[in-house]
Amino acid sequence: MRATPDASDSPIVAGGVPDLRLAGLAVSAWLTALAGLHLGAATVLLAAVLAAVFSAAGALHLVGVLGRPGRRARRHGWIAVAVGLGIVCGGTVGAARLVVRDAEALRSLAEQRASVTAELVVRDDSRPVRGNSGRPATLLVTTELVALTEPDGRRLSAPVQVLVLAAHPAWQGLLPGQRLTAQGRLGVPRGGDLTAAVLSASGPPVRRGAPSWAQRAAGSLRAGLQRACAPLPDEQGGLLPGLVVGDTSRLLPTVEEDFRATGMTHLNAVSGSNVAIVVGAVLLLARWCRAGPWLAAGLCGVALVGFVILVRPSPSVVRAATMGAIGLAALAAGRPRAALPALAAAVTVLVLLDPALAGDAGFALSVLATGGLLLLAPRWRDGLRRRGVPSGLAEALAVPAAAQLACTPVVAGISGTVSLAAVPANLLAVPAIAPATVLGVLAATVSPIWPAGAEFAAWLASWPAWWLVLVARYGARLPAGTLPWPGGVWGALLLAALTVALLVAVRRPVVRRLVAVVTVAAVLGTLPVRLVARGWPPPGWVVVACAVGQGDAVVLPVAAGRAVVVDAGPEPGAVDGCLRRLGIREVPLFVVSHYHADHVGGVAGVFNGRRVAAVLTPSRREPEGGQDLVEAAADAGQARLLTASVGGAYRVGGAELVVLGPPYPLRGTRSDPNNNSLVLRVTVAGVRILLPGDAESEEQRALLDRLPLGALRAEVLKVAHHGSAYQDPEFFEAVRPAVALVPVGTGNTYGHPHPELLARLARDGVRVLRTDTDGDVAAVHGEGGLAVVVRGTPAGRQP
């Protein structure tokens, strides 16, 4: 019979006080390393010196040299010493890495954009991102520099991180640990991490030798898992490799959007929960065989190493494995309370070994989730048991709720929203995660020796994966599923402070009852209102710029459930999600400004479940890949293809569109496809909206020269080319907008939007909204005139 857990089994020390003896060391080292990534080596080194002085004084005080302290003063003194030591360690290690990163020789080459030949070692899987270069995707490859050779033959060696931007498909199949040589042009990184330079590769890499046996084994097993999932339906077959090994290469965009809306994206990234599931399955098997603690821990260790090999020993995986190993250490020691100090020690060691982790959101989420499981889950589980909830159900409820609550501040800071659907969606997902993961790991493991068995295991795993798809799909459609929240660091800190205050307050029964009553009243009071009159789309909206990443998608209403759509962004899921949020069921006219991938890559999302009557395209048909994509979608959707001509006018419902440009074909410009973008002036409810596509300064100048005075005047301007620096100042003087909408992707590598452009708009008194910081953005027209609304904001703000 299983013993009832008591206080000694919980990672909480006597008196209900967490065992935070090493927490000050971990947090201070973490924050110091994070500050160093943004402030530079000199600042954190100065902080480390000052902290060393205060720590030495505190230590002397504790040992009695400067006086004998009391018990409380001694406890506070140890905390101060730990904090000071963390600052010293974090500052010293961080400064050392930053000095290497900012070495003058390499920085000078990056600023000169020198052409070099670099010897590199791949450190992580390549990540495809959409760009505006006309090509379908750009690959981001994190590498470590071995040496580089300048055009004059000089050789420079430095152990620094280099981010490679590559378009050649040969970069796609590289494994971490692969040594290679590449040619390209250096550039300056954006900062905030340990990347010393950006290399824009000019061709394919030249491989030097083979990766390690572990990486080759991982590649073989991952390929076997993909083969086993190939016969499955697209939704489950694309999701299962993401659940097991974080491989989202086949994940459908619509499924990805649903997972993001319901706070379930973490399931598609390798984290401590994946490690805990695999190791937990081995632990249950070991206990069933009556293995002792040390043997069980040894078997779990073997499983841990095997899982790391399967998912590839990249930095993110090593981080997740470290979080999972904390539980193993506590198990082997027979002291569950040791897990929390072990977590603090692991954080300290990881940050000191790799200071770049301090700025990694994935690292913060892993640590917070593990901390939530150690601090909150045991008490919530025991509280539910005391109230008669069965043991297994109590565990299933407490674990995801604790992890979700701990991670919410960081998620809110990143997204600018608080998901109300995340906790119930993750609770519903709990029963399916473990079987899908374990069966998926089994499929990958047996795939090299028994392909039929691997396919059977993958088929079994597809059923819990189907449940996850179903939960995400219906969770994403819930009204009022997310609420707006201040984004950035301050928004995250505000929510963290409120969360801690609430957790402390609800320890009193009276406060618990009050919080429960207020929560129920708020849900019952606000939900019917949002069902009848939701905050999105806002009443009286005349244009919405969708948050589709680094790309354009603009929606213009013509009637209830019907809208004109201009461009489709880089991915189908993003524009489809935006149109669903707006309730658009029919598109009478879809307009293509030009055929670059960041404007037409998501065209399938516009057609997904909607009737599209006609597609208006530019006369210049380049690049061909974009043209083929649009024509294929139009053919499949039985939409008429129309070619735009300058001066052409189109009336659709309450919207009137006029084609202003290009006034003539432009040749030999910086980017001919951009400078032959369709330029539209749209009038909706009396509000003029100018949509210039990606028109750069050459086309803008041509418009100014050819159009009559006042033809470009508009109250709302969709800023061209994501706010790039290639803009004609006189163009803005001719438009004189009150509102500027900037569709731009978060963390893009192009420097969009350009700071000087934003400063100019601010000087002119223009209200600027950006999709990378505000999400979907709208201009609305009502009794008070023109106003702007960001997604989730209940009322417009006057421009």
Q: Is residue 575 within 8 Å of 553, Cβ to Cβ? A: yes
Q: Which residues of 214-249 are buried (b: 16+ CB within 10 A; e: fewer)?
A: bbebbbebbebbbbbbeebeebbbbbbbbbbbbbbe
User: Looking at residue 795, what is its pLDDT?
Assistant: 33
Q: Give the DSSP H or E segment for 769.
A: strand 767-770
DSSP character for 754?
Answer: P
Q: Which of 262, 240, 257, 245 is nearest to 400 (CA)?
A: 262
H/E segment holding residue 660: strand 655-661
Strands, E assignment, 662-719? 679-684, 687-691, 716-718
Q: What's the confidence (pLDDT) of residue 132?
A: 37
pTM over 0.75: no
Phi-psi group of 583: left, alpha or beta (phi > 0 → left; psi -120 to 50 → alpha; rest → beta): left
Would you give the distance in Å from CA 447 to the centre of its chain?
31
The answer to whether the beta carbons of residues 680 and 659 sit under 8 Å apart is yes
Q: How far is it, in rounded angstroms, from Cα 144 to Cα 503?
A: 43
Question: What is the sign of the dihedral through the CA atoms of 613, 478, 543 and 771?
Answer: negative
Residues 131 and 597 sit within 8 Å (Cβ to Cβ):
yes
Q: Which amino acid is at 163?
A: L
Question: Which residues, other chains included, contact 433 with Cβ-Cβ below 8 Å and sequence gap of 6+?
Answer: 243, 267, 273, 277, 464, 468
CB 623 within 8 A of CB 673: yes
Cβ(738)–Cβ(707) under 8 Å? no
**65: helix, coil or strand?**
coil
Question: Do residues 136 and 597 touch, judged by C-beta distance below 8 A?
Answer: yes
* Tokens read off for 318: 């090593």
**Residues 33, 323: Cα–Cα separation, whole Å:** 19
pLDDT for res 617: 92
User: For tokens 């494994």, what's the residue?
Assistant: 175
Is residue 661 within a helix (H) or strand (E), and if so which, with residue range? strand 655-661
Does residue 162 sit in helix, strand or coil?
A: strand
H or E, element range at 742: strand 739-742
CA separation for the pair 365, 409 (Å, rounded): 10
DSSP state at residue 208? -
H or E stretch including 29?
Answer: helix 23-39
Beta bridge partners of 490: none
Measured between alpha carbons, how far is 684 from 188 in angstroms, rounded to an integer? 43
Alpha helix ranges (H) inside 481-638: 488-505, 509-532, 572-582, 597-600, 603-607, 624-636
| Cα–Cα distances in angstroms (integers) from residue 60 to residues 89, 445, 484, in the given order | 19, 56, 49
Q: Contact at 8 Å (CB) between 172 and 126? A: yes
* Structure-block tokens of residue 238: 């694309």
Query: What DSSP designation does 542 have?
Result: E
Alpha helices per DSSP H over 416-508: 422-446, 451-476, 488-505
Residue 516 has a pLDDT of 62
Which phi and psi angles does 121 have, rounded to 5°? -125, 125
Q: How confident is the model at residue 8, as a pLDDT?
A: 35
Task: Give the pLDDT means over successive 10-residue stretches in the chain (799 positions).
Answer: 37 47 79 80 73 62 52 59 78 83 84 87 74 53 87 83 85 83 86 83 85 76 86 86 78 73 71 67 74 72 74 63 61 57 81 82 76 78 82 72 78 68 75 84 87 90 89 70 65 78 71 62 46 64 92 92 93 89 91 92 90 90 81 88 88 88 86 89 92 91 87 92 89 90 84 84 84 87 80 41
